[in-house]
A and B are shown apart, each in its own frame.
Chain A
Amino acid sequence: MAPKQSRGEYIETDTGNKVSRKSVIMGSQNIILGGKTIIQADCTIRGDLRRPAQPGSQGQVALAVGRFCIFARSTVLRPPGKMHRGVYSHYPMKLGDHVFIGDGAVVEAAIIGSYVHIGKDCVIGKFAIIKDCVKIEDGTVIAPNSVIPPFSLVAGRPGVVVEELPETAPEMLDLKAVYKQI
């Protein structure tokens, strides 16, 4: 079904992830993709930003992504970091399933749940927690340390909950059909 010219644009993995050749992915050994995730061109994913490995443990995950996620063009994903006991350290970032991140958005959230739509040119502040079934309108700026409860429509600068999403939000925000198109 997919147009022929798109072949070669993406590297497809065994689990169905499609990663654009034009994307910038750093520290890929620290990134876990759940499968069927699409990373489009010019995305920057900073898997290298993680806590320095402790002597005992190794293989710290910087970014964990669920299934059916789409990172549109020019998105930036950076695990959040802060000063802690005199050291600037980064914390892992977790994304659920069916997370859409729009063009040019910058995400530094700590946790993003499932069925989350982040619009174009949004900025998600450091250590933000976004629960399941949340839609964030284009151009929203979410303040650091914010918590967005489930079934919320968020808009504005800073982003505040402006409306509740209807009961059908999981269907509205499902990305299975979108994955098949690409």
Chain B
Amino acid sequence: MSFPTIHISCPCSDTPSIARHGSSGSHLAKDHSDLNADDPAEVDDDGQSNFNPYSRRANFSLYPLNRLLFCEDCNQIRCPRCILDEIVSYFCPNCLFEVPNTTVKSEGNRCTRNCYSCPVCLAVLSVTALGDEGTAPYILLCNHCLWSSSDIGIELDKPTSITAQLAEKLKPSASSTGVSTPTGGKIYTVPDTLITPAISGLATSSSSYYPSRTLPPLPEGAELSPGEFFTRLQEFYKLLKSEASDNEDRHPNSSRLMDMLSTTGTSHLRPYNQRMSEKPKPGWAEYGHNQSVNPDDDLNAITAISSSGFSGTTSLRQRLTQPHCPSLLSELVPLAALLRTKRSKRCRTCRHILYKPESKVGSIRCRIRLVAMNYIPTLNITRFDPSAFNYHNLIPLATHQFLLTVTNPLYDPISVHLATPRHTPGKYPSNITIYCPEFEVGANTDVWDEALASASGNPSSGGHRAKPRDKKSAVPGQIWDRGRNWTSVIIEIVPPALPEGVDDKDKIVKVPVFVRSEFDTEVDRDVGEIGKGVKERREYAFWSSIDVGRIGKKDQDGPQRPQSLGGASVGGLGERERRSEGRDRRESERMKRSSVR
């Protein structure tokens, strides 16, 4: 975690107090308008209207400014939780070709061109010629870990249409014995005796991909590609359903199960596979009996793993990215690239579009883009004293001065009101003082205006004031400095002394700051009958949480300090030693040694 960081609270969070005001920020603002006037502690006590960055709910409402959008119609910040995503286009992240909607529906969300990633390290695979002067055979080679499709015995004849070739190669070559069509009659009518005991979930899945492996192939359903297998499975359950329809103890959830099956991918079907091939008699009566585990499955897996060794097994990530979840590296297949989407964003409340990208894949342009940083003032906090400073070790009970800079993104000057409780709401409250809670921030005008204004020596009309007094002293009630569209004020923080064994999250100083900005702007054109030049007062208001830093070690061991400093001068070791349990013992030893000298 880096300090200092600033997060903005989105009012969509369902914290009751904020949600109630959520529809219009101005109400919220009014509640707090008197807050900064004289006594913030007054509002502090009611507990309802103050934002608590330490609460667990706060995690869900706090976002960095760059994640936030802004709805002009609702006059509200919109966070990723209160926007709706709409897919504009699908594209392959590797070849950057747009994939039409219909193709995505029929072919699935993977690239059907030549884009494959390495099953071992997920880097991109490139088609490499093995023959002299770039001729056949071709392999898919990972340039990062040097895995190649020849490791699993696949070489290609052409450098193009990889998907079709791979599908051909991964299909079993041997034709199965009397597999009926998916649509015809009873599908699995193989006697139990035909099924070899070696069939396991592992063997099934791998033999469907690699018939030439040592594991014996499944006589029936295993010799199908996952896609075909899925169709058959669906047929099987339809059959079951039709048979069960006249059965009395029909499963109440059978239709729901069918719906689930039609949407589930093939990756979860391994248990069904075994169940089906073992049981020739469909029917709900046997449903529960089929889930017994074949002990030979485990035996097979153990032999396979012991022959390949631990290094030949897949990692969890490798296994989960594969549709058939293999345990051995030799069973991995190249992964077709997953498609990505371009999405437009809408406000969840008023359905207005907040962000609409161009549908062209490579382009970063957009037609509509209402981002919060173009509306609400930007906060920035830096250390007042610019010398090197460890934000992870704020000295307790010392006064820390920070410079809070408010930048105005608007073309109108704004007046900013900052408000903060007197103490942070955490378990161990720090004292906070903002030297100047009300001030003006100039408009975000052309840079030239400022240059001309400073050249001619008088402030321009854009809300400029002369530079405030000399920069040497920080006077309460006055701003520190100001520029074209920014103003900085001093915020003073006194962290408390923490008792031993405090939770780490309580050590972080989180300062809730309520920011309200008011400005006059020209009325929109759609209410243009009033005429141009009519000004309208607008305001934006939001809570923000400034994570200033972590409170450091208590300064209590004052008398021991010279000695421990001596220890620290040896190197970083001294610091670590001091923190360790046996600190006192070593300390005394060192003292002894030094006294001997």
Quick one: which of B93, B124, B145, B373 contacts A149, CB cutoff 8 A? B93
Contact pattern, A 131-174, Cβ under 8 Å of B = 1, otherwise 0: 11100000001011111111110000010110000111111100
User: For window 438-475 of chain B, which residues contact chain A by CB distance below 8 Å?
Assistant: none
Decide yes or no whether A92 CB sits under 8 A from chain B: no
A132–B364 CB distance below 8 A: yes
> Interface residues of B, CB < 8 Å — how many?
29
Chain A positions within 8 Å of B144 at CB level: 125, 141, 143-144, 158
Contact pattern, B 347-377, Cβ under 8 Å of A = 1, otherwise 0: 0000000010000011110100101010000
User: For window 82-109 of chain A, which residues contact chain B by CB distance below 8 Å?
Assistant: none
Chain B positions within 8 Å of A148 at CB level: 93
A167–B123 CB distance below 8 A: no
> Interface residues of A, CB < 8 Å — how many?
27
Chain B positions within 8 Å of A132 at CB level: 362, 364
Chain A positions within 8 Å of B299 at CB level: none
A145–B122 CB distance below 8 A: no
A158–B121 CB distance below 8 A: yes
Chain A positions within 8 Å of B123 at CB level: 143, 146, 158, 160
Decide yes or no whether A115 CB sits under 8 A from chain B: yes
Decide yes or no whether B340 CB sits under 8 A from chain A: yes
Q: How far is the CB of B8 from chain A (nearest CB, A)?
A: 13
Decide yes or no whether B94 CB sits under 8 A from chain A: yes
B142–A168 CB distance below 8 A: no
A167–B369 CB distance below 8 A: yes
Decide yes or no whether B126 CB sits under 8 A from chain A: yes
Tell me the nearest residue of chain B to A125, going by C-beta: B143
Q: How far is the CB of B14 from chain A (nearest CB, A)?
A: 23
Contact pattern, A 98-127, Cβ under 8 Å of B = 1, otherwise 0: 000000000000000011000000000100
Number of cross-chain contacts by CB at 8 Å: 69
B124–A145 CB distance below 8 A: yes
Tell me the nearest residue of chain A to B125, going by C-beta: A145
Q: How far is the CB of A140 from chain B (nearest CB, A)?
A: 12
Quick one: which of B66, B96, B121, B369 contacts A147, CB cutoff 8 A? B96
Tell me the nearest residue of chain A to B341, going by C-beta: A164
B364–A147 CB distance below 8 A: no
Q: A143-B144, A147-B124, A158-B144 are in contact. Are A166 and B66 (CB under 8 A)?
A: yes
Decide yes or no whether B542 CB sits under 8 A from chain A: no
Tell me the nearest residue of chain B to A150, going by C-beta: B364
- Inter-chain CA distance A169–B365, complex, in Å, is 11
Decide yes or no whether B91 CB sits under 8 A from chain A: yes
Q: How far is the CB of B453 from chain A (nearest CB, A)?
A: 18
Quick one: which of A141, A143, A149 contacts B96, CB cutoff 8 A? A149
Chain B positions within 8 Å of A145 at CB level: 124, 126, 143
A147–B355 CB distance below 8 A: no
- Inter-chain CA distance A151–B366, complex, in Å, is 13
- Inter-chain CA distance A143–B94, complex, in Å, is 13
- Inter-chain CA distance A147–B69, complex, in Å, is 29
- Inter-chain CA distance A133–B357, complex, in Å, is 14
Q: How far is the CB of B147 from chain A (nearest CB, A)?
A: 11
Chain B positions within 8 Å of A143 at CB level: 121, 123-124, 142-144
Tell me the nearest residue of chain A to B337, going by C-beta: A147
B69–A167 CB distance below 8 A: yes
Chain B positions within 8 Å of A141 at CB level: 144
Q: How far is the CB of A74 from chain B (nearest CB, A)?
A: 23
A149–B69 CB distance below 8 A: no
Tell me the nearest residue of chain B to A164, going by C-beta: B340
Contact pattern, B 59-70, Cβ under 8 Å of A = 1, otherwise 0: 000000111010
- Inter-chain CA distance A114–B365, complex, in Å, is 12
B362–A150 CB distance below 8 A: yes
Decide yes or no whether B257 CB sits under 8 A from chain A: no
Tell me the nearest residue of chain B to A128, going by C-beta: B124
Contact pattern, B 115-144, Cβ under 8 Å of A = 1, otherwise 0: 000000111101000000000000000111
- Inter-chain CA distance A115–B371, complex, in Å, is 18
User: For window 47-84 of chain B, which residues contact chain A by CB distance below 8 Å?
Assistant: 65-67, 69
User: For window 148-192 of chain B, which residues contact chain A by CB distance below 8 Å?
Assistant: none
Q: How far is the CB of A164 from chain B (nearest CB, A)?
A: 8
B121–A167 CB distance below 8 A: no
User: For window 216-242 of chain B, which residues contact chain A by CB distance below 8 Å?
Assistant: none
Decide yes or no whether B258 CB sits under 8 A from chain A: no
Decide yes or no whether B87 CB sits under 8 A from chain A: no
Decide yes or no whether B293 CB sits under 8 A from chain A: no
Q: 3 tightest A-B contacts by CB?
A: A143-B123, A158-B123, A143-B144
| 29 A-B pairs with C-beta separation under 8 A | A114-B364, A125-B143, A132-B364, A141-B144, A143-B121, A143-B123, A143-B124, A143-B143, A143-B144, A144-B126, A145-B126, A146-B124, A147-B96, A147-B124, A150-B363, A151-B364, A158-B145, A160-B122, A161-B93, A166-B66, A167-B345, A167-B369, A167-B371, A168-B65, A168-B66, A168-B67, A169-B66, A171-B373, A172-B66
Q: Which residues of B contact A (CB under 8 A)?
A: 65-67, 69, 91, 93-96, 121-124, 126, 142-145, 340, 345, 355, 361-364, 366, 369, 371, 373
